[in-house]
Amino acid sequence: MPGQVSVRPECLPDDAAFLLSVYGSTRRAELAALGWSPGQQDAFIRMQFDARQRHYRAVYPAAAYSVICAAGELAGRLIVDRTGATIVIVDIALVPAWRRRGIGSLLVRQLLAEADARRVAVRCHVLHNSDARQFWRRAGFTALASDGAYIELERRPGQLS
């Protein structure tokens, strides 16, 4: 794993361009398959990012909105809501250079340890066709429900991961 991993509160508007780039990096491959021009992709990503931001802020107003740092560099974003009877991982995403290096696993393990100490479940959502489903399965999450596009996953306290 690369250097020290930490999270810090996101600072808007200073982090806005970075957060947009993180989101964009999660959508580029899917949009490239549509044959859209880079300008069309950028416009769509901006529109979707803005809508997603508004949705998250409305549904999870008290969540911790954080920037992930690794080895002193900006590496991704993490949004965690701890206000209910469960810990909700609203969003976790890393830019491509920092993916598959153990950073997400480390952060999720920390959240699972926190949940176990509090004796609460952890929930998240993942796209049906996402490669991330394997990551969540290995972390001990099981499916609760599906809305057709997303699967709601849960890991109960004390389950081995």
As a whole number, mean pLDDT of residues 22-46 equals 92
Express as a percent the part of the chain with pLDDT over 90.
84
Give the single-character DSSP code of 128: T
* Neighbour tally for 55: CB within 10 Å: 11
**pTM for this structure?**
0.93
As a whole number, mean pLDDT of residues 4-10 equals 96
Say if CB 124 and CB 136 are below 8 A apart.
Answer: yes
Which structural domains are found in the chain, ordered by start? 5-155 (3.40.630.30)
Beta strands across the sheet bearing 64-70 = 5-9, 64-70, 73-81, 86-94, 121-127, 150-155, 142-146
